[in-house]
């Protein structure tokens, strides 16, 4: 498993590049030859886990020893196929349809699943920049590089392959790491990319992913089958996937636009409503995320004296059932409640990067947000469950029954027609109390579901 040359790069080892293009491609209307020809070119350039992992390891070792080495560079490519794209290029589409029967959301596509995930109004597919017509996108290409010129060089080579095989670009998004003090942060200003699942046989608990400990050795590490087909999964039973899906993964791509001015204003307004007196907007923002802007979790961790520092991840909510440290509405608590039994089978491997310019203050309403990407072996049990049953659902209490609660104010929204309150009730340890009443300032502006095949499956197409 470790050092795999079969699994594509970004799934278990992050591409982690400052310049990342997302290209949504359409194959020509032919017998599949155009798409297959294009994929055979992509096969020669696609990154495998072992290469990305080796690079990331060398990068962090050399940075620790000598500081950043600008000569250590790599450009990575990953390719995934939507359900219509897969049908276009496989030799036996009817058999593939049958094989995919257990993967209903993948076959329906992201647009058909939008309403169930709360994407209505401005987030409805008719307002998306890509993916609204489920059949229009056949492949998603991710190209990740250290510099804009390295990215453009690679994109130039790829464009030649597109033209040669009649493959057209439907839409492109340009992921860019924010610069300066905001490096590693998302547009609302919070440090991102901290907590990820560790994978058995692949990550080391002590180094790669400090994870969260529950006095159970190995509890932080998830079975590889949660993210890659053909491997043991948390339930102990292999997922019902055909062998051509082995070493592949399901990919979610969502273009999530962020209204930073709207978020900031709402946080200031709502902070002012707390009783017996106002809380600071910084504190309320941290309550809604579950971490301060520098990544420090509100949770105290296992050691109340040392606590958990910026970027720390060694904590649970076990001693905070009422949400007095980390409110039950907090984004990180709702998307990962950290109870071993309920959580592990719903974990997702996140690979997001911001797009658009950094927010400059005032009424700067430029198009900016997060290219949210995640991987897993079940859309229904992982990404969709987290969004639908946890973030959006006022009935889910990630704390003790009756604890002050509310939907996720970062990404949650009530499904149209759903009952329950969209507000979040927060009671802090010092007795400060408030009911946060604000819409989410994240709008879905495009989405696709795709399958990221193994190297052997790509070769056999």
The residue range among 82-90, 125-133, 213-221, 366-374 that interacts with ligand HEM, by the rule CB under 6 A, is 366-374
Could you say which residues in the range 134-163 bind ligand HEM, by CB under 6 A?
none
Nearer to ligand HEM, 79 or 260 (CB): 260
Could you say which residues in the range 39-68 bind ligand HEM, by CB under 6 A?
none
- Residue choice 289, 330, 407, 424 for contact with ligand HEM (CB under 6 A): 289
Contact flag: residue 220 with ligand HEM (CB under 6 A)? no
Nearer to ligand HEM, 335 or 454 (CB): 335
Contact flag: residue 241 with ligand HEM (CB under 6 A)? no
Contact flag: residue 244 with ligand HEM (CB under 6 A)? no
Contact flag: residue 372 with ligand HEM (CB under 6 A)? yes
Q: Which residue is closest to ligand HEM by CB?
A: 195
Nearer to ligand HEM, 203 or 350 (CB): 350
Strands 221-222 and 198-199 come out as parallel
The residue range among 46-54, 89-97, 184-192, 228-236 that interacts with ligand HEM, by the rule CB under 6 A, is 184-192
* DSSP string of 157-186, one letter each residue: HHHHHHHHHT-EEEEEEEEEPPPGGGTTB-
* DSSP string of 333-399, one letter each residue: HHH----HHHHGGG--EE--EEESPPP-STT---S-EEEEEEEES-TTTTHHHIIIIIIS-TT--SS
Contact flag: residue 258 with ligand HEM (CB under 6 A)? yes
What CA–CA distance (Å, rounded) separates 254 from 372?
A: 5
Contact flag: residue 190 with ligand HEM (CB under 6 A)? yes
- Residue choice 119, 192, 208, 246 for contact with ligand HEM (CB under 6 A): 192
Secondary structure class of 51 (helix, strand, coil): helix
Distances (CA, A) of 121 to 125, 183, 422: 9, 32, 16
Nearer to ligand HEM, 165 or 346 (CB): 346
Q: Computed from CA positions of residues 405, 294, 348, 219, in that sequence, does the dihedral angle turn out positive or negative?
A: negative
Instruction: Give me the long-range contacts of 35-38 (CB less than 8 A, separation at least 24).
Output: 35/85, 35/88, 35/89, 35/138, 35/139, 35/165, 35/167, 36/89, 36/461, 37/164, 37/165, 38/139, 38/161, 38/162, 38/164, 38/165, 38/167
* Total residues at interface with ligand HEM (CB under 6 A): 27
- Residue choice 335, 378, 392, 432 for contact with ligand HEM (CB under 6 A): 335
- Residue choice 353, 370, 379, 455 for contact with ligand HEM (CB under 6 A): 370
Contact flag: residue 331 with ligand HEM (CB under 6 A)? yes
Residue pair 176/19 in contact (Cβ under 8 Å)? The answer is: yes
What CA–CA distance (Å, rounded) separates 229 from 377?
A: 6
Contact flag: residue 100 with ligand HEM (CB under 6 A)? no
Closest CA to 97 of 87, 82, 85: 87
Structure tokens at 155: 């994109």
Nearer to ligand HEM, 86 or 410 (CB): 410
Nearer to ligand HEM, 17 or 291 (CB): 291
Residue 213 CB, shortest distance to ligand HEM, in Å, is: 13
Nearer to ligand HEM, 113 or 336 (CB): 336
Could you say which residues in the range 423-452 bind ligand HEM, by CB under 6 A?
442
Contact flag: residue 386 with ligand HEM (CB under 6 A)? yes
Residue pair 79/446 in contact (Cβ under 8 Å)? The answer is: no
Residue pair 342/300 in contact (Cβ under 8 Å)? The answer is: no
Cβ-proximal residues to 426 (8 Å cutoff; 6+ apart), any chain: 274, 284, 287, 323, 327, 329, 404, 406, 433, 434, 435, 436
The residue range among 125-133, 149-157, 192-200, 446-454 that interacts with ligand HEM, by the rule CB under 6 A, is 192-200
- Residue choice 176, 336, 381, 409 for contact with ligand HEM (CB under 6 A): 336
Binding site for ligand HEM (CB under 6 A): 186, 188, 190, 192-195, 256, 258, 289, 291, 331-332, 335-336, 348, 350, 369-370, 372, 383, 386-387, 391, 410-411, 442
């Amino acid at each position: 498993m470790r050092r795999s040359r079969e699994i594509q790069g970004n799934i278990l080892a992050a591409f982690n590049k400052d310049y990342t293009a997302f290209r949504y491609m359409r194959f020509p209307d032919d017998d599949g030859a155009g798409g297959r020809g294009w994929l055979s070119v992509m096969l020669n350039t696609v990154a495998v886990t072992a290469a990305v992992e080796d690079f990331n390891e060398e990068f962090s070792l050399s940075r620790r020893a000598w500081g950043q080495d600008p000569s250590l560079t790599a450009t990575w490519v990953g390719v995934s196929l939507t359900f219509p794209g897969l049908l276009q290029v496989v030799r036996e589409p009817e058999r593939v349809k049958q094989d995919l029967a257990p993967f209903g959301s993948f076959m329906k596509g992201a647009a058909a699943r939008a309403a169930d995930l709360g994407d209505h109004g401005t987030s409805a597919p008719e307002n998306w920049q890509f993916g609204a017509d489920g059949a229009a996108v056949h492949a998603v290409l991710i190209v990740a590089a250290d510099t804009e010129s390295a990215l453009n060089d690679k994109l130039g080579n790829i464009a030649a392959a597109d033209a040669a095989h009649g493959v057209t670009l439907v839409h492109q998004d340009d992921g860019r790491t924010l610069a300066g003090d905001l490096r590693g942060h998302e547009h609302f200003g919070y440090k991102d990319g901290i907590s990820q699942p560790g994978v058995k046989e692949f990550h080391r608990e002590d180094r790669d992913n400090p994870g969260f400990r529950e006095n159970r050795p190995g509890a932080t590490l998830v079975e590889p089958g949660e993210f890659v087909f053909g491997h043991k999964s948390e339930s102990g039973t292999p997922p019902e996937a055909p062998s051509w899906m082995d070493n592949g993964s399901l990919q979610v791509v969502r273009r999530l636009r962020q209204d930073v001015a709207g978020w900031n204003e709402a946080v200031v307004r709502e902070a002012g409503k707390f009783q017996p007196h106002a809380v600071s907007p910084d504190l309320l923002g941290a309550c809604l995320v579950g971490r301060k802007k520098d990544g420090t979790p509100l949770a105290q961790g296992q050691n109340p004296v040392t606590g958990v520092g910026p970027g720390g991840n060694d904590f649970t909510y076990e001693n905070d059932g009422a949400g007095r440290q980390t409110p039950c509405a907090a984004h990180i608590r709702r998307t990962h409640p950290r109870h071993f039994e309920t959580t592990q089978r719903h974990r997702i491997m996140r690979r997001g990067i911001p797009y658009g310019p950094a927010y400059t203050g005032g009424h700067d309403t430029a198009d900016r947000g997060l290219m949210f990407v995640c991987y897993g072996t079940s859309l229904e049990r992982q990404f969709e469950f987290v969004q639908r049953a946890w973030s959006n659902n006022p009935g889910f209490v990630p704390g003790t029954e009756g604890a002050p609660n509310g939907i996720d104010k970062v990404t949650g929204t009530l499904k149209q027609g759903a009952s329950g309150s969209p507000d979040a009730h927060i009671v802090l340890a010092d007795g400060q109390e408030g009911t946060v009443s604000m819409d989410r300032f994240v709008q879905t502006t495009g989405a696709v579901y795709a399958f990221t095949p193994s190297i052997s499956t790509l070769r056999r197409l």
